[in-house]
Amino acid sequence: MKVIFKNLGPIKNGEFHLQDFTNLNIIVGPNNSGKTYFTYLIYTIYKMISEVFFTKNLKFLQKISDEGEVNITEKDYEEIFFMYCEKLKNSIKKELPLVFHTKEEFFKDFDIEITLDAEKEEIKKAKRKLKGYIIDEQVFAEIIKSEEKIIFSIISIEKDFILKDFSVTGLRKFGKENNLDFIRMRKIDTIQSVFNSIIKKIIFKSVNNIISFPAERSGVLLFYKQLLQERSDFLREIEINKEKNSSLNEISRYSEPVNEYIKFLNSSEEFQKLKEGSIYKDISNEIQKIIGGEVKIQEREIIYKCNNKELNIELVSSTVKSLAGFFLYLKYKAKKGDIIIIDEPELNLHPENQRRLFKLFSFLSKQGISFILSTHSPILINEVNNMLLFQDLKDNEIDTKSEEEEYRLSTNYGLKKENVNIWFLNEGKMKLIEKEEGQFNIDTFNEVVGEMYNLNNDLLFKGE
């Protein structure tokens, strides 16, 4: 998916491919250059892809419903993708003010264009065979998509199966018992769902969830219960019209990623019913090195445990507050195919822990979890460069045993250059940084660090 946009906060023009955001992705730039705007746009796009459906009947889909079989022409594919891109574009433009929790006028100059040329070719070649149930007609159906045509047919079943329980649980149980790919109300809904399913799977690839850990996470952790309660109370007052003169402007205007993080923390008591995931078991020792203990759920509260002592979360260090939610996610929710957005992962961390945390990101990315990191930390960028250089030596079969021993490098240390991207935002522009001789050179960091180094040298020599 190619995305071209204009006037997104400080960013005047931007362009990227959504498929670039796999593995490790880092967004850098000066303050007020638009890093948060950029990450929120990506967040919004992924959310909308998961929700957008065709709302208008396509002519050739109606023909399938009437005749049972139809050839798919180039014109049909053009119609499908034009409609999908337009629907997705309009949904993103409508959703963005809601994600930022601001007025629509704030984004009145924002514009976005989406093209799916590469995905269109994949979908043309895609072959699918789906089985489902049509509620209105109380029949099982099968849809087969080949490269050139779609065939719709009713499946003959010896025994009648009539869906009676329309609850979410009932639908899920009925689908599982009968090995169904879909349950739809009408025949035309069924046919449309094929294209929605195929398009989403090809665009999303193996994405399961997109989860954001905002820069406000340390403060949110202290007040997450009160924040959710105040918001619920306010909305309830509106709902039952107790406060007819109340204004929506009175409600706390935190962004949707912050709101999602509040809800995530408030669902933590449900984690007690879950087992620790296999991903977490592989990294629990590394997590303990970073925070000196572990974060757990006990009696519906988030607790920090260290040296057999348990502390309520308000008593822990800022490091633990900053990382507690992320580590709870890793412990109970992490799955291959997740996309994680972390704003300023270096918050409250000593340089040594910044390096440890990035090594953790690198390891998790190799397990199929993708990261989008917005950072001001030159330490993270230097660690990226070291890992790239180390991997290059290994790939060229150059002995690295002495470095591994001296710097205590694990067997997982190292990054392949195709698995990391760095975006640089500055002066209203954004660009994907090219790797020079296997490394990233980031001017915004190099200039400041270089100036400090030169000043230090000048002052030392001046005093001699």
Which tens digits make up the pLDDT trace of 290-322? 999 988 888 778 889 988 888 888 888 889 999
Is residue 27 within 8 Å of 326, Cβ to Cβ? no
pLDDT digits (tens, 9 = 90+) for 57-97: 677 777 777 777 888 888 888 888 888 899 899 999 999 99
Angle at 453 between CA 451 and CA 457, to 5 degrees: 115
Q: Which of 106-115, 217-226, 334-343 has the lowest mean pLDDT?
A: 217-226
pLDDT digits (tens, 9 = 90+) for 161-206: 777 788 888 888 888 888 888 888 888 777 777 777 777 777 777 6
DSSP 8-state class, residue 230: H
Q: What average pLDDT does the chain have?
A: 84
pLDDT above 70 coverage of the chain, percent = 90
pTM value is 0.84
How far from 372 is each of 114, 255, 427, 432, 441, CA to CA, in Å?
A: 21, 18, 21, 14, 19
Q: What is the pLDDT of residue 250?
A: 47
The pLDDT of residue 150 is above 50: yes
pLDDT above 90 coverage of the chain, percent = 33
Is residue 89 within 8 Å of 60, Cβ to Cβ? no
Name the residue with tokens 């190619």. Answer: 2
The pLDDT of residue 236 is above 50: no
Query: Identity (one letter) of the amino acid at 102?
Result: T
Q: What is the pLDDT of residue 212?
A: 93
Helix (H/G/I), strand (E/B), else coil: 304: strand
DSSP for 354-411, please give it: HHHHHHHHHHHHTTT-EEEEE---HHHHHHHHHHHHHHHHHHTT---HHHHHHTT--T
